[in-house]
Amino acid sequence: MDQLWNQAGPRLMLEGALREFYTFTLVLVRMSGLMAIGPLFGQSMVPTTFRVLLVFSISLVVTPSLRQLEGRGFTLLDRNENLQLERAELPDGLTPRFDRIYRQTGDGTAAEETSSLSRSDWLYSIRPVPGSVFEYVRIAAAELVLGLVLGLGVMILLTGLQTAGELIDQQSGISLGEIAAPGLDISGSISGTFLFLMGTAILVLLKPFGGHLLMMRALLETWQTLPPGEAVMGDSTISLLSSLVQSSLILGIRVAAPLLATMALMALAMGFLGHTVQQFDLFSIGFPIRSLVAMLVLSIVVSGVGGVLTESIPETIDQLRDSIVLPHSDERSLLADPEL
């Protein structure tokens, strides 16, 4: 026995250490995706050293907890609560993982719709380590994209505020004085920058949790059904990102609409006044009036923008989480887990 252990022990320990390191790197890559592009996390005003240290620290904490997260995912997927996960219970995006585990634990035959796996088989299946660098890069790229999607979805929504600000400045004449903020890695109109920063502040100050914590929680929940190395991008996620672009444009138009209508009425009134009262100097008086009215209307619109973002940001994060955790599935119900 001692001789057998001396021969096989070091090899088994090396394989186990390599597998754990492989898992940690994939957790690190998925977390890096959110930190690279997500609002607040991905802005250049946050030092790169801090972001790297934050990603590394969170990954060290998450990696030992993966089994617990996957256990929660098993409970959520086991709809009939018989402690057996049937293939028919899974969305299409998770069936390849089911088939691989079933072949490992069974006699190598293909899984059928009535096939099932126990909790231990689902959680403690051996994930093969890539045999080449190219295979590892492919898997890591999928993990990175998964993290990027979560941050990109929220960023798309906030970008609609910048669009609204640019429309406002073009109509009010404030676009003549654009600004550049290297610390925030943004440049453009004054109103657009103001609305974007306001949206970021609302994201951080959401109740009962900040939006940045909601994004982090959503990312943690992706490991419930998509462990490291199993990241997939479902059609529902791509469709959701497309719809978020439309929602962002609609949000920008909704924010800018009151001011655009006011500016149109002012243009008509001032044009009529210029034709009826020849002594009225539109060039010297019109611009200050338009700017003043624009500021007044914008101050009224801001309160409504806060209410819209307070509702839309958590909803967007939940939709992104659901589409990622249940790839190729239209069901969005079984993911709410307030104890996480």
pLDDT at position 334 over 50: no
Is residue 110, in this structure, part of any structural domain at all?
no
CA distances to 89, 105, 115, 221, 256 from 112, rounded to whole Å, are: 12, 14, 5, 28, 54
Residue 99 resides in a domain = no
Question: In this predicted model, what pLDDT tens digit does every residue of 299-324 receive, in sequence order?
Answer: 888 877 878 888 888 888 888 888 88
pLDDT in tens, 109-153: 667 777 888 888 888 777 778 878 898 899 899 889 888 888 888
Residue 7 confidence (pLDDT): 59
Asked if residue 170 has pLDDT above 70, the reply is yes
Confidence check: pLDDT of 184 > 60: no
Measured distance CA(186)–CA(199) in Å, rounded: 14
Q: Where are the alpha helices (DSSP H) in the chain?
A: 2-37, 48-62, 66-77, 95-105, 119-123, 133-172, 190-204, 211-222, 235-276, 282-325
pTM above 0.75, yes or no: yes
The predicted structure's pLDDT at residue 268: 81
Q: What are the pLDDT digits (tens) for 5-27?
A: 565 666 667 777 788 888 899 99
Query: How do residues 44-62 score in pLDDT, each as one tens digit?
Result: 777 888 888 989 999 999 9
**Is 94 contained in some domain?**
no
Domain-embedded: residue 122: no
In a domain, 14, yes or no: yes
Q: What is the mean pLDDT of the chain?
A: 79
Say which amino acid occupies 204.
Answer: V
189 in a structural domain: yes
- Are 79 and 334 spatial neighbours (Cβ–Cβ below 8 Å)? yes
Q: Which residue's entry shows tokens 């009529």?
A: 272
pLDDT of residue 28: 92
Work out how many domains the chain is built from and give that number: 1
Cβ neighbours around 79 below 10 Å, total: 13
Residue 299 lies in a domain: yes
Range of the domain at 298: 1-77+127-340
Q: In which band, very low, low, confident or very high, does the pLDDT at 159 lie, cut at 50, 70 and 90?
A: confident
Residue 340 pLDDT level (bands cut at 50, 70, 90):
very low
115 found inside a domain: no
> Above 50 in pLDDT, residue 333?
no
Give the pLDDT confidence score for residue 92 in this predicted structure.
76
DSSP H stretches of helix in 124-189: 133-172
Share of the chain above pLDDT 90, in %: 4
